[in-house]
Structure 1
């Protein structure tokens, strides 16, 4: 097959994986409501569905012994997603329109939303930093501690078990800090069947995503980790980008922008696990360190820009552009620094 056909397979496979992930999203959102979790706290839990394509890709990469594709996807998606999702949420929030029923439910929040639109400001609940971003930075620090020092450099099985435990701690702090009264929910047979169909679509999509990436990087003549960073990772986040746009346009601004952190906390913990189980050496140590550093830097910039620069928590246009510039600096560091080899 030609590179163009494999490109088409990659696109179809990524969309199949995300279709499957969306079928899991509704059951998890119902559980969030049933357990009484806030939007921000719930994002830490619902992120399992959004990050499940990356989990599937990493599992398939480990199974097929091309773990560098999974490693590149894991790191690359965490770097590119936050700036692009915040940018999409900001643009969509300028166009957000609430119906009469939504306006009545929002009450004073609707007036605030209208005022923020006039001010070209996207308000973000401060919980997006305290409940998600700061613990997420702690997750990244643990990954660095487990994988960078020379005595235990790389991903090893014990690292995977440690990261699973770290995710449980992360989830617990988000749940207990954001607990409200739960709501009664009903589960239909059709919902369960769709969830099962979602799991199957997710598995098939993840498998062919890895197969397609293998063949594309072979045809182009680049390393598997570069293929994961700059081919699979951007493709894997496109459906998430469209979902963020839709959620932000509905007026759920914090949920739209904070989901990026919740999703990628899952990516750095649960999706880390299958790679660690098969033991992944770090073949290009400078590339790995730079990528891990930018994973932390992008999240730190997100937190800093929310807290400082405006009287309220959130983003004005200049802050969105400042966050985007972090990704541009990353590209310069990788390509002009000679690390993309």
Structure 2
């Protein structure tokens, strides 16, 4: 058992890193959203593209930093753990706060891509490695999804002339928010990795477990905060879209970029447990959303309980 004094610095780095990631993501979301509106994108388009991608930024920074400082296990574990946390913890807690309505548009356009991303990840990872070619495939699918989403969203909406800030151009304040948010994310991800890895290494846990738990929950805080606040304010469709979009970008963008940098080696235990867990959580969520087009408080309880079970089995 490590001495208490030896744990003070890792714990401090972990806490400060999580706070910095949350603050950086909030600044990035605010600045990116206003910039997108300023150049004429519609609010709904911003929500399912810019905001979803921006809240995925912590996973991206942690994964890329982990590649150079630790191993690809950090990136893979963070994405798998974050996607499971987004479904079990983020949507579970949000549904417990207030039942979440699921729009027809989300079910037809966004949810199928979330399922595709999960199935594609498992399919290309069954041989134990995600190489640069598979990384390029993930990026290509991401580009196709983004083009499709922007095209279909813009095609069926009225012009955004009444949106606050729409078409006002680029403001230096918003550029500054984006830059400060990015810098804060870089620093926060470094602190989070250092604190999380040192703390769990001290207790004998593996890099994959660290990514699947501490780092995954830490990088899911922007989604949790945004979705929980959205649910509390009655903006329940935003909570659904935020998580669905983030899960898509986590797989396609984060792992796609990491695999382009260096091939991702996948342990047999991951193929046997974490991959099936991701598929099960994804399919259970789709089944819940398909029934009555909403997530009830009972659904929220089941999701949170499922996530607790996932963490319990990971610790065994």
- Report if TM-score (shorter chain) is over 0.5: yes
CA-based RMSD: 2.2
Gaps in structure 2 of 5+ consecutive residues: none
State the match for 1:281 in structure 2: 265
Matched, 1:174 2:157: no
- Say which one has the larger Rg: 1
Counterpart CA distance in 2 for 1:170 and 1:37 is 18
Q: Contact 1:133–1:299 (CA<8 Å) still a contact in 2?
A: no
What TM-score do the two structures reach when normalised by structure 2?
0.87
User: Which of 206, 210, 221 does residue 223 from structure 1 map onto?
Assistant: 206
- 1:92 Cα deviation from its structure 2 partner: 3.4
Aligned to 2:132: 157
Q: Is the counterpart of residue 21 in structure 1 residue 25 in structure 2?
A: yes
CA deviations on 1:56-96 (whole Å, 9 max, x unpaired) are 00010011142212221111011112122223322433xxx
1:6–1:328 distance in 2 versus 1, CA, 3 Å: closer
- Secondary structure of the corresponding residue to residue 178 of structure 1: helix
The residue that corresponds to 1:145 in the other structure is 123
Matched residues in 1 for 2:262 and 2:144: separation? 24
Residues 103-155 of structure 1: per-residue CA shift (max 9 Å, x gap): xxxxxxxxxxxxxxxxxx43221322222221111112221222113xxx212
C-alpha separation between the residues in 1 aligned to 2:198 and 2:23? 23
Residue of 280, 291, 306 corresponding to 1:297: 280
Deviations 1:256-285 (A, max 9, x none): 232111112111111113431222222x31
Equivalent residue in structure 1 for 2:114, among 113, 136, 141: 136
Displacement, 1:213?
2.3
For residues 308 and 229 of structure 2, the distance between their equivalents in structure 1, rounded to whole angstroms, comes to: 25
The alpha carbon displacement at 1:235 in A equals 2.2
TM-score (norm 1): 0.81
Paired residue total: 301
**What's the offset of the Cα at 1:286?**
2.5
Q: Unpaired segments of 5 or more residues in structure 1? A: 94-120
